[in-house]
Amino acid sequence: ETGVTQSPTHLIKTRGQQVTLRCSSQSGHNTVSWYQQALGQGPQFIFQYYREEENGRGNFPPRFSGLQFPNYSSELNVNALELDDSALYLCASGKQGARETQYFGPGTRLLVL
Amino acid sequence: QQQVKQSPQSLIVQKGGISIINCAYENTAFDYFPWYQQFPGKGPALLIAIRPDVSEKKEGRFTISFNKSAKQFSLHIMDSQPGDSATYFCAASSAGGGADGLTFGKGTHLIIQP
């Protein structure tokens, strides 16, 4: 088991609503990345935070936003939810510049109706 | 545009056999190639990773073979066991840009039959 935790484990929302997902990083890690994993697909990189700023982003629209806090915990916010946002959202913490240290949490399963 | 192509989608291997999963990439800036194992209800866990300056890396029963000129890499699982049954993802990333975002393949569902 990694030291990365995520909450909640499952969530159901309605199209158009907003959602906030939370991640607690492993001790000693200073980066946090978020990924979206649709059913039967590989994870897709949403963005990464380092020193409380976004320092890289995948091909996701601005309605996907995030925060990293001084204790390295993180939030993923998604506005104006769409049906296609239904997926497993994974958080990964790591050390900047040491890619082999990225550890994933168990994920939050989001269902948009 | 899918930058990392993984095959096969699913694979059934007898216990004790060799499981082989292949990946091909397009972006020549990629310089880190990990393999992840994912069990149902869990996040992906790093199995083994390789950088392009070596052609092979072995850790226990897991071996990565890397062919830089062909832009291909593969995972070999020797003496496959039922506990290896899981979904396997290859991935790649490049060091530039500051972020360490991984580009994943679509995954291979591996079943080891007892």
For A1-14, the pLDDT digits (tens) are: 678 999 999 999 99
- pLDDT over 70 for what percent of chain A? 98
Is A6 strand, coil or helix?
strand
Q: Could you write out the DSSP letters of every residue in B9-74?
A: SEEEEETTS-EEEEEEE--TT--BEEEEEE-TTS--EEEEEE-TT-SEEEETTEEEEEETTTTEEE
Are A43 and B105 in contact (CB < 8 Å)? no
Give phi and psi for B9, each to the nearest 5: -70, -40
pLDDT digits (tens, 9 = 90+) for A5-43: 999 999 999 999 999 999 999 888 889 999 999 999 999
Which positions 49-108 of A are in contact with B (Cβ < 8 Å)?
A: 50, 55-58, 90, 92, 94, 96-97, 99-100, 102-107
- Give, in order, the Cα–Cα distances in Å from B71 to each of A55, B38, B87: 27, 24, 22
Computed over every residue of chain B, the mean pLDDT equals 93
Strands B19-25 and B4-7: antiparallel
Name the band, by pLDDT with cuts 50, 70 and 90, for residue B99.
Answer: low
Are B43 and A45 in contact (CB < 8 Å)? no
Taking the CA of residue A82 as centre, how many other CA atoms within 13 Å lie in the half-sphere pointing to its CB? 6
Q: Which of A2, A41, A102 sits opposite B106 (nearest CB)?
A: A41
Are A42 and B32 in contact (CB < 8 Å)? no
Give phi and psi for B82, each to the nearest 5: -55, -30
Tokens for B94, please give them. Answer: 């490049």
- Give, in order, the Cα–Cα distances in Å from B63 to each of A100, B27, B54, B58, B73: 16, 23, 12, 4, 10
- Alpha carbons B55 and A47: distance in angstroms, whole number: 30
- Alpha carbons B16 and B45: distance in angstroms, whole number: 23
Are B102 and A45 in contact (CB < 8 Å)? yes
Task: Give the least confident one: A75-79, B27-31, B78-82.
Answer: B27-31
Is A51 strand, coil or helix?
coil
Spell out which residues of chain B touch residue A102, defining contact as CB-CB under 8 Å.
46, 100, 102
Spell out which residues of chain B touch residue A90, defining contact as CB-CB under 8 Å.
43-44
Are A55 and B104 in contact (CB < 8 Å)? no
Q: Which of A44, A47, A104 sits opposite B44 (nearest CB)?
A: A104
Rounded to an integer, the average pLDDT of A86-101 is 89
Spell out which residues of chain A touch residue B104, defining contact as CB-CB under 8 Å.
42-44
Tokens for B7, please give them. Answer: 């095959």
Q: Which of A48, A106, A107 sits opposite B99 (nearest CB)?
A: A48
Output DSSP code: residue B98: S
Asked if A43 has any chain B CB less than 8 Å from its own CB, the reply is yes
B23-52 core/surface letters (b: 16 or more CB in 10 A; e: else): bbbeeeebebbbbbbbeeeebbebbbbbee
Q: How many CB atoms lie within 10 A of CB B96?
A: 9
